[in-house]
Amino acid sequence: MESWPIYRVMGDESSAPNTVPDALALKIYQDMVLLRTFDEKALNLQRQGRVGTFPPSLGQEATEIASAHALSKKDWMAPSYRDHGALYVHGVPFENVILFAMGRAGSLAGDVRALPSSIPISTHLPHAVGLAMAARMQGEEAIAIAYFGDGGTSEGDFHEALNFAGVFKAPVIFLCQNNGWAISIPVSRQTASATLAQKAEAYGIWGVRVDGNDALAVYQVVKEARERALAGQGPTLIEALTYRLGPHTTADDPTRYRDAEEVVSWRGDRDPIVRLGTYLHQKGILLPADLEKVRETAQAWVNQAVEAAEAMPPVKPVEMFEHVYAAMPPRLVQQLQEFEGGGR
Ligand SMILES: Cc1ncc(C[n+]2csc(CCOP(=O)(O)OP(=O)(O)O)c2C)c(N)n1
Ligand SMILES: [Mg+2]
């Protein structure tokens, strides 16, 4: 549907002007490199049996990192399993992310205003709406943002969340990362709609399509959606067009369902890190000589986070009984006792 143009900053002459300050653009670039370095490390650790199943962000760094930079620390983040980069920018150290993947003691978000990463698809969207409503009722200068995928738009929770948010003008952003695939299901089999952004129209809310591999465009669109939400103009559905370059998780083999040419077409010039790097070079903000330094710093940081995480004790199996109810119901108490006694 041609009435849904793709918002771009780093494109041809029809692109929107850049409003991101140089220092912030550089920070976004550094964080994108950090996320990719973290991803590579996590994949290696998984292959060595040192972390569990891991969903990489490879290819989606611009959407995750730039969107989170457009938020305030007072905003609530409701991430999906893949959004480690967004959590990191919001204040969750990579160390905590690895702890989570390793099944070790420690909490994911601590005092950061973020929900635990949602493994069930889209169940966190109504939660984000609730957080947004609560923030408004308490008079806070805060919004909520939910991260989910193209596949997430087919869930009932997506409808309920957007419908409710539209009626009550909740200050919430629905950030859909359209990465082309929901495991082995392509977007063309996910919906008969020409775009995902146009679904906003049915809910009476604002909808935008943005080039999700254009970090500057993502930043600008999220910032504007946030300002609209705070001004009482209601929620926004953002469709960020990106691509999952890697497997869905370390348990997936994408060569079984998609062509190598498709993947190759998203590498090189379309790679979000290459695109922002080229832009920063052209503006003289990042010199080719600085590149190696950015990578080395990222590597050192990631290694440090892994060391710190591996120094933490493993979670005791009995802890699975905790953190579910404030007061444990009798049935669970009984199961706990059976478990501690060797179980049956
Ligand atoms: C409610 C629910 N149904 C099914 C699954 C299994 N599942 C895990 S990821 C996934 C695909 C999600 O695709 P998408 O929403 O596009 O997100 P992406 O992984 O591409 O970021 C499915 C079906 C699940 N986790 N939760
Ligand atoms: Mg997807």
Q: Are residues 208 and 99 in the same domain?
A: yes
Annotated catalytic residue, options 82, 124, 136, 244: 244
Residues having CB closer than 6 A to ligand 1 are 82, 119-121, 148-152, 177, 179, 181-183, 244, 248
Ligand 1 atom nearest residue 190's Cα: 16
Ligand 1 atom nearest residue 183's Cα: 11
Q: Are residues 323 and 300 in the same domain?
A: no
Q: How far is the CA of 150 from the centre of ligand 1 (A)?
A: 9
Asked if the structure places residue 334 within a domain, the reply is: yes
Range of the domain at 17: 6-313
The CATH code of the domain that includes 62 is 3.40.50.970
Q: Are residues 308 and 331 in the same domain?
A: no
Q: Are residues 29 and 154 in the same domain?
A: yes
Could you confirm whether 248 is annotated as catalytic? Answer: yes
For residues 277-290, give the mean pLDDT. 93
Q: Are residues 277 and 344 in the same domain?
A: no
Please give the pLDDT value at position 1.
45
Q: Are residues 155 and 298 in the same domain?
A: yes
Residue with CA nearest ligand 1 atom 25: 120
Question: What value does the mean pLDDT of the chain take?
Answer: 94
Can you give the chain as a three-state secondary structure string?
Answer: CCCCCEECCCCCCCCCCCCCCHHHHHHHHHHHHHHHHHHHHHHHHHHCCCCCCCCCCCCCHHHHHHHHHCCCCCCEEECECCCHHHHHHHCCCHHHHHHHHHCECCCCCCCCCECCCECCCCCHHHHHHHHHHHHHHCCCCCCEEEEEECHHHHCHHHHHHHHHHHHHCCCEEEEEEECCEECCEEHHHCCCCCCCCCHHHHHCCEEEEEECCCHHHHHHHHHHHHHHHHCCCCCEEEEEECCCCCCCCCCCCHHHCCCHHHHHHCCHHHCHHHHHHHHHHHCCCCCHHHHHHHHHHHHHHHHHHHHHHHCCCECCHHHHHCCCCCCCCHHHHHHHHHHHCCCC
Asked if the structure places residue 1 within a domain, the reply is: no
For residues 70-94, give the mean pLDDT. 96
Q: Are residues 90 and 205 in the same domain?
A: yes
Could you confirm whether 244 is annotated as catalytic? Answer: yes
Q: How far is the CA of 231 from the centre of ligand 2 (A)?
A: 31
> What is the number of the ligand closest to the CA of 184?
1
Q: Are residues 171 and 226 in the same domain?
A: yes
Question: What is the domain count for the chain?
Answer: 2
Q: How far is the CA of 207 from the centre of ligand 1 (A)?
A: 22
Residue with CA nearest ligand 1 atom 13: 182
Q: How far is the CA of 307 from the centre of ligand 1 (A)?
A: 31
For residues 300-323, give the mean pLDDT. 88
Please give the pLDDT value at position 343.
55
Digit-coded pLDDT (tens) for 170-227: 999 999 999 999 999 999 999 999 999 999 999 999 999 999 999 999 999 999 999 9
Counting ligand 1 atoms within 8 A of each CB, the residue from 121, 127, 177, 245 with the most, and so the one to mutate, is 121
Please give the pLDDT value at position 105.
67
Instruction: Report pTM.
Output: 0.95
Please give the pLDDT value at position 177.
98
Whether the per-residue pLDDT at 24 is higher than 90: the answer is yes
pLDDT level of residue 109 (50, 70, 90 thresholds): confident
Share of the chain above pLDDT 90, in %: 85
Q: How far is the CA of 46 from the centre of ligand 2 (A)?
A: 22
Lowest-confidence region among 94-108, 118-132, 159-173, 309-323: 94-108
Residue with CA nearest ligand 1 atom 18: 149
Q: Are residues 179 and 216 in the same domain?
A: yes
Could you confirm whether 257 is annotated as catalytic? Answer: yes
Whether the per-residue pLDDT at 324 is higher than 60: the answer is yes
